[in-house]
Amino acid sequence: MALSESCLLAEVIHLRRGILDIDDSILFYSKAIIRTTQIRHFTSTGRSQPADMSGPVAQFVKDAILQDTIVIFSKSYCPYCTMAKEVFQKLQRKFTTIELDGRDDGDQIQSVLGEITGARTVPRVFIKGEFVGGGSDVKNLYENGKLEKMLQ
């Protein structure tokens, strides 16, 4: 945000909220910027931008899906991602994990996965290059005995 825009925003806040002391004004100003940014992002697109399916990020995803028998696109803090990983650990199966929250292109990867699988949620689990679902799906396949058959 340019300096002139931030000054203008600060003036609008003072007009709407009255004159506040400097600490309150800065606190409110910070919250207003964050909220405005979030609203603009959501209402301007309604969802994230469509993925460039011919670009380098899409190629990375396509290559990654085929790099191992089991590939999990994950976020390190996600409980459903942990659930999927634990299932494969119980089966003592080696798997490749790509932690999206540790990558600069994580959001772009998630958009590509959305195009490929129909959803942007994590985890996105692939077995032998085929999408099998998320954490709950993997757990259900395991409990029904179908997962081990898929891995043979």
Inform me whether the pLDDT recorded for 73 exceeds 50: yes
Average pLDDT across the chain, whole number: 79
Inform me whether the pLDDT recorded for 68 exceeds 50: yes
**Which of 40-54, 80-94, 125-139 has the lowest average pLDDT?**
40-54
Alpha-carbon torsion, ordered 111, 114, 120, 126, to 10 deg: -110
Whole-angstrom CA distances from 95 to 12, 25, 64, 88, 128 are: 53, 51, 12, 7, 11
What is the torsional sign of CA 138, 82, 116, 71?
Answer: negative
Quote the pLDDT of residue 90: 98
**CA gap 16, 152 in Å, rounded:** 65
Taking only the tens place, the pLDDT of each residue in 47-67 is 556 889 999 999 999 999 999
Whole-angstrom CA distances from 109 to 25, 56, 69 are: 38, 10, 19
Cis (ω within 30 of 0) for the bond into 123? yes
